[in-house]
Chains A and B, each alone.
Chain A
Amino acid sequence: EAGVVQSPRYKIIEKKQPVAFWCNPISGHNTLYWYRQNLGQGPELLIRYENEEAVDDSQLPKDRFSAERLKGVDSTLKIQPAELGDSAVYLCASSLIETGGGQETQYFGPGTRLLVL
């Protein structure tokens, strides 16, 4: 079974430029997460989708960050314009949350390493 796929793996851009990350979750997983991981830190949730609905985007800097999950499968995370402080690894994860079920394991992709110059 294919895991969570992310692209690109690495991205270097100049500040004020836009950038986009793409994530393809594990087939059948209805919940998708975007995390940001700064160097030496644990991942921090940016946004969580259940199917195509964003159910938790409280930590997403909405002035410059946006995300979408059309059709409830693939997702794109965009930053426009990028700032120096956005340099980090952006991780995508997916899980299958069943109605009335308990906590399900999140499966992570390899991440996109962003460097803003």
Chain B
Amino acid sequence: AQSVTQLGSHVSVSEGALVLLRCNYSSSVPPYLFWYVQYPNQGLQLLLKYTSAATLVKGINGFEAEFKKSETSFHLTKPSAHMSDAAEYFCAVSEITGNQFYFGTGTSLTVIP
């Protein structure tokens, strides 16, 4: 089975600073990769997904992620943090065959004014 590791359960950045949330997966075959955001008391919302097309994926709200096969990573970045970005972020992986998602444990992002 796949596994997903999100380094850093809590990340704090200043408003306007770079956001970097880390995600590594375990697979010898590049899977499909997703980033979801969860605001308090809400469900998960898709930020972006990688499905074997371009390795640099742009998502909503200015977020982007780069698939690096050699590092088995799919880190999420945003050049300039906004207060509204404060939320829980989940990386998820899915095998190319089958439709089951494996989620990481999440990273809580705090944005400091």
Contact = CB atoms under 8 A, between A and B. Distances in A.
Interface residues of B, number: 24
Nearest to A3: B43
Contacts of A105: 34, 46, 49
Q: What is the predominant secondary structure among interface residues of chain B facing chain A?
A: strand
Interface residues of A, number: 27
Contacts of A113: 41
B90 A42 contact: yes
Interface string A84-106: 00000001010101000011111
A109 interface: yes
Given A4-B43, A109-B43, A110-B42, A102 B105 contact: no
Interface of A: 4, 6, 31, 33, 40-45, 48, 56, 91, 93, 95, 97, 102-111, 113
